[in-house]
């Protein structure tokens, strides 16, 4: 311990050891000590010396420190000291004071050399990845810092090692979920270094849910009002999305664009913007531009633009654009962002055209921006941004181009002068004294004519009043007049670009240009002169304009036919000289810079010479103009003939295209009709199939009922084979009804007769009861008395007996007749009634009074009166049989009535099914006829 005190600055006897000797002794102690405490103290001492003696510690102790990381994993304290020591050795982020003290000893690339030594063994980086997984703060945090430093020094090599390491990227992604903000924030910095210029790692990080976690952190930190952490997260998002189409698509498909809208809710009070807020919002705008950059694939850019419109992000950006109090750099970047969000997207361009500035009266946002563009007091970068916004608004937007040009036409100019239009602002900038305004207005107007021959012809109608008392001149003539006055180079370059765009692919405009006799001599004179380098660019553009006048000349002017213009070039300029001057354009440095990207980005106003879209036009026309200059008259004639032939061919092709288009429309309509009829046919077939199945079910039910009815007919020995349920006709039903009515009347008559007979029997019973001995409790009578009573009864009622016998005979005849008719009815209508006529005889239903009388014991011993008793009993028996017969007939009548009702309902059901079958058959054959017709 005395030794360590000496190393750490404590008092000691004798001379002080040098730093190299002390570090060597500490390294020996780390390598040879068996006690963990001794090794820990030695590593702690190395950590304290690592900043001052960086080179010595790195050379002597690095191997021992790596060995400690491998062997002492169980002790987090020594691991933390070792990681901190390695970080101090490898990192170049030393404090300024330490850098000044060690400036003599510091090696320029010392950190990179130590990093190369460390990663020479790939296992060392893998070991670091495992240590970063430890939750202990004293291990995880220095491990994250060391890995970040390695990536800063040797990024591609360390990225490759992490990429091939199993779950290497996933381990580092867990840092974003750490609850300790220090580790989480340093984890963001680590991922920034990890994802630089490595698309494979960027994809892995994105699919490890990095977007969700980073957006959550930005929201937690307060969006644009957040601190440095928000800035780090935005930088990491840019690394993941920039030039990575896969991640951009994943970002859009994951609905993360919608979560960007709250970033730009800056509020009404925009004063007092902090520097961090400006930085954050600037990065947020750049992130939006990454998603809609013109260098991205068109499909990906278009889908992102639509998503930004639907989620309200474009509306929020336009709000910032028209707000007050916004810092100049944020306003400029917002204009550039809005430009790329609307570029080439018709929906977004239409919305931008409808945006009004909060002024009194309200003015369109386009007009307000153009005011800033032509105002020479505005900052240069802001004017460039407005020009880019106007170009993006007109890009592939013929509707917007027409609206801008229409503001220049005589019929649409506001005579009251209450409002300023976009066309008036462009003309004002085109003829102002500021050369930058001239150039911007000329380029903006050229974009309004880009690839639109109709508007080029309409712009020829524009007339300008140059001064009071002088007649108005055309816009084309005014441009050539200013060009010939010898203005600044920037102004002339802008006007020449406008004229070249205007005359290209428009023969009428070429004719109007050549109609002025001063234009061709001016161009030839400019090309033929030997001027300085600044004028060479003007000479090249003059050669391009003259070449366009030759190539698109329709030979309508006799003095300026193609051949004569070529002869003029040959005499005054020379073909080789003309081609050489034409080549000055594409060889110019500013031309190459403008051809790189659509956004005009210039370091100073003097460098604003070329427009991106114009460079495309030069590239397209330079070759064809060179060929046109060298062609002879015969070749021109042949070319004219070929052109005419091609025009005729094009007319024929156009005609056939029109015919084909009409046929395609008809075919499409027929296809739609076929699809409609097919769907209807499928529905009808489904209906037919369903109805066929229902019919089959009804048939099965009908057959089952038929079988059941057949069994019932066989049980009753009826003629059911000849009569079927569905065979009952209306006439038979009416006959049955009539017969039932007759049976009902007969039944009522018989009931009346039975009531009369019942009254007679009651009288007889009452008479017999009166003659009985009332004193005899046992109801016994003497034989002599009963005989006398019988004789007296026979003498007193001979007429009644004869009458009863005659009635019984008549009733027997009627009963036999009824039985025969009943049998006939049973043959005609099969029934399942369980009543059988003979059952009434076996089941005697005598009146209760008669039964009671017969059950008495008064008949014992009186054999002599058997004849009369039998006679009387037969009479009572006949009455009982008649009564039971009438009851049976009544029940049979009810059964017949039920059968009749069932038959009627069955007939109705079968008639309904018959009508349905006819309808189904009709639909089926109608469908077949339609198919045959089609």
What does the alpha-carbon distance between residue 508 and residue 573 come to, in Å, rounded to a whole number? 26
What is the structure's pLDDT at 1? Answer: 34
pLDDT in tens, 203-231: 999 999 999 999 999 999 988 888 999 99
Please give the pLDDT value at position 403: 93
Could you tell me the pLDDT band of residue 814, with boundaries at 50, 70 and 90? low
**Residue whose C-alpha is closest to residue 196's, from 227, 226, 157:** 157
pLDDT of residue 502: 95
In this prediction, residue 3 has a pLDDT band, given cuts at 50, 70 and 90, of very low
DSSP state of 330: H
Q: What does the mean pLDDT of the chain come to?
A: 79
CA nearest neighbour of 384 among 614, 612, 615: 612
Q: Residue 548: how many CA atoms within 13 Å on its side-chain side?
A: 28
Whether residue 832 has pLDDT greater than 90? no
For residue 499, which of 520, 485, 479 has the smallest C-alpha distance?
Answer: 479
Which residues lie across from 463 on neighbouring strands?
474
Q: What is the pLDDT of residues 66-98, one digit of tens each?
A: 999 998 888 899 999 999 999 999 988 654 444
Residue 582: count other Cβ atoms within 10 Å of its Cβ: 24
pLDDT tens for 104-133 read: 345 457 888 999 999 999 999 999 999 999
DSSP letter assigned to residue 364: E
| Confidence class for position 830, pLDDT limits 50, 70, 90 | very low
For residue range 841-871, list pLDDT tens digits in order. Answer: 333 344 444 344 444 443 343 333 444 444 4
* Coil, helix or strand at residue 463: strand
CB-based burial label for 165 (10 Å; 0-12, 13-18, 19+): middle
CA distance 578 to 567: 12
Among 288-292, 561-565, 886-890, the minimum mean pLDDT is found in 886-890
Q: In the prediction, which pLDDT does 667 show? A: 87
Percent of the chain surpassing pLDDT 70:
72
Q: If you average pLDDT over residues 484-493, what whole number do you get?
A: 88
Residue with the larger pLDDT of the pair 460 and 704? 460
User: For 713-756, how does the pLDDT look when each residue is reduced to its tens digit (9 = 90+)?
Assistant: 665 544 444 434 444 445 555 666 677 777 777 777 777 777 77
In tens, the pLDDT along 508-558 reads 999 999 999 999 999 999 998 877 777 889 999 999 999 999 999 888 888
Instruction: Tell me what the mean pLDDT of segment 309-319 comes to.
Output: 94
pLDDT of residue 734: 66
Among the listed residues 197, 214, 335, 326, the one whose alpha carbon sits nearest the alpha carbon of residue 273: 326
């Amino acid at each position: 311990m005395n030794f360590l005190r000496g190393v750490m600055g404590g008092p000691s006897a004798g001379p002080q050891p040098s730093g190299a000797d002390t570090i060597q002794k500490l390294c020996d102690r780390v390598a040879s000590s068996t006690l963990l405490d001794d090794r820990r103290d030695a590593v702690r001492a190395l950590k304290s010396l690592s900043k001052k003696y960086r080179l010595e510690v790195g050379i002597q102790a690095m191997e021992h420190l790596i060995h400690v990381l491998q062997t002492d994993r169980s002790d987090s304290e020594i691991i933390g000291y070792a990681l901190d020591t390695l970080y101090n050795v490898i990192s170049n982020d030393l404090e300024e004071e330490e850098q000044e003290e060690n400036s003599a000893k510091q090696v320029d690339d010392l950190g990179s050399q130590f990093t190369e030594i460390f990663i020479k063994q790939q296992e060392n980086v893998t070991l670091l990845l495992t240590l970063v997984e430890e939750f202990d703060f004293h291990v995880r945090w220095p491990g994250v810092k060391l890995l970040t430093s390695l990536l800063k020094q040797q990024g591609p090599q360390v990225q490759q090692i992490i990429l091939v390491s199993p779950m290497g990227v996933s381990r580092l992604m867990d840092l974003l979920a750490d609850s300790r903000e220090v580790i989480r924030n340093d984890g963001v910095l680590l991922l920034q270094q990890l994802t630089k210029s490595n698309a494979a790692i960027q994809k892995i990080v994105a699919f490890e849910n990095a977007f969700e976690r980073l957006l959550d952190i930005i929201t937690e930190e307060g969006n644009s009002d957040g601190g440095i952490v928000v800035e780090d997260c935005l930088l990491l998002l840019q690394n993941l999305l920039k030039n990575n189409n896969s991640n951009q698509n994943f970002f859009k498909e994951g609905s993360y664009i919608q979560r960007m809208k709250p970033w730009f809710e800056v509020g009404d009070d925009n004063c007092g913007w902090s520097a961090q807020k400006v930085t954050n919002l600037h990065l947020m705008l750049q992130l939006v531009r990454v998603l809609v950059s013109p260098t991205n694939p068109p499909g990906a850019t278009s889908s992102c633009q639509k998503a930004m419109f639907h989620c309200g992000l474009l509306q929020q950006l336009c709000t910032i654009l028209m707000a007050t109090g916004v810092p100049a750099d944020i306003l400029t970047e917002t204009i550039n962002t809005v430009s790329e969000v609307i570029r080439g997207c018709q929906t977004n361009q239409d919305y931008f055209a409808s945006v009004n500035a909060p002024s009194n009266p309200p003015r369109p946002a386009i007009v307000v921006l153009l005011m800033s563009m032509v105002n020479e007091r505005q900052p240069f970068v802001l004017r460039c941004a407005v020009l880019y916004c106007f170009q993006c608004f007109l890009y592939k937007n013929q509707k917007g181009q027409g609206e801008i040009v229409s503001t220049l036409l005589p019929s649409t100019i506001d005579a009251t002068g209450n409002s300023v239009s976009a066309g008036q602002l462009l003309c004002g900038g085109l003829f102002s004294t500021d050369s930058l305004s001239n150039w911007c207005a000329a380029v903006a107007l050229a974009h309004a004519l880009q690839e639109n021959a109709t508007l080029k012809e309409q712009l020829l109608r524009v007339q300008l009043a140059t001064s009071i008392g002088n007649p108005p001149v055309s816009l084309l003539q005014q441009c050539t007049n200013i060009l010939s006055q010898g203005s600044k180079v920037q102004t002339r370059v802008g006007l020449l670009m406008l004229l070249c765009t205007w005359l290209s692919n428009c023969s009428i405009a070429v004719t109007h240009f050549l109609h002025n006799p001063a234009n061709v001599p001016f161009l030839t004179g400019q090309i033929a002169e030997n001027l300085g380098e600044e004028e060479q660019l003007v000479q090249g553009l003059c050669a391009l304009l003259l070449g366009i006048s030759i190539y698109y000349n329709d030979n309508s002017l006799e003095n300026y036919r193609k051949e004569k213009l070529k002869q003029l070039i040959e005499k005054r300029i020379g073909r080789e000289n003309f081609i050489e001057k034409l080549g000055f354009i594409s060889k110019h440095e500013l031309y190459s810079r403008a051809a790189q990207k659509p956004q005009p980005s210039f370091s100073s106003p003097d460098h604003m010479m070329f427009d991106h879209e114009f460079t495309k036009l030069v590239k397209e026309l330079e070759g064809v103009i060179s060929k046109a200059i060298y062609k002879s008259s015969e070749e021109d004639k042949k070319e004219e003939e070929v052109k005419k032939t091609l025009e005729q061919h094009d007319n024929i092709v156009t005609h056939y295209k029109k015919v084909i288009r009409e046929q395609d429309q008809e075919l499409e309509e027929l296809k739609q009709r076929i699809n409609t009829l097919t769907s209807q046919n499928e529905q009808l077939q489904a209906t037919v199939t369903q109805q066929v199945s229902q019919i089959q079910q009804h048939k099965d039910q009908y057959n089952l009922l038929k079988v059941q009815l057949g069994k019932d007919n066989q049980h009753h020995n009826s003629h059911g084979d000849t009569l079927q349920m569905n065979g009952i006709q209306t006439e038979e039903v009416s006959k049955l009804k009539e017969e039932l009515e007759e049976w009902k009347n007969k039944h009522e008559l018989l009931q009346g007769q039975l009531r009369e007979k019942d009254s007679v029997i009651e009288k007889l019973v009452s008479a017999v009861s009166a003659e009985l001995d009332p004193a005899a409790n046992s109801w016994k009578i003497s034989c002599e008395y009963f005989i006398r009573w019988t004789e007296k009864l026979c003498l007193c009622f001979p007429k009644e007996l004869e009458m009863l016998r005659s009635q019984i005979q008549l009733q027997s005849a009627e009963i036999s007749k009824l039985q025969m008719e009943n049998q006939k009815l049973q043959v005609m209508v099969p029934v399942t009634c369980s009543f059988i006529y003979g059952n009434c005889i076996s089941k005697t239903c005598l009146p209760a009074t008669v039964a009671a009388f017969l059950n008495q014991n008064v008949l014992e011993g009186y054999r002599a009166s058997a004849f009369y008793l039998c006679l009387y009993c037969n009479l009572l028996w006949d009455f009982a049989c008649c009564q039971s017969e009438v009851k049976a007939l009544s029940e049979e009548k009810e059964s017949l009535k039920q059968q009749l009702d069932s038959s009627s309902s069955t007939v109705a059901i079968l008639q309904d099914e018959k009508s349905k079958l006819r309808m189904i058959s009709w639909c089926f054959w109608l469908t077949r006829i339609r198919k045959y017709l089609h």
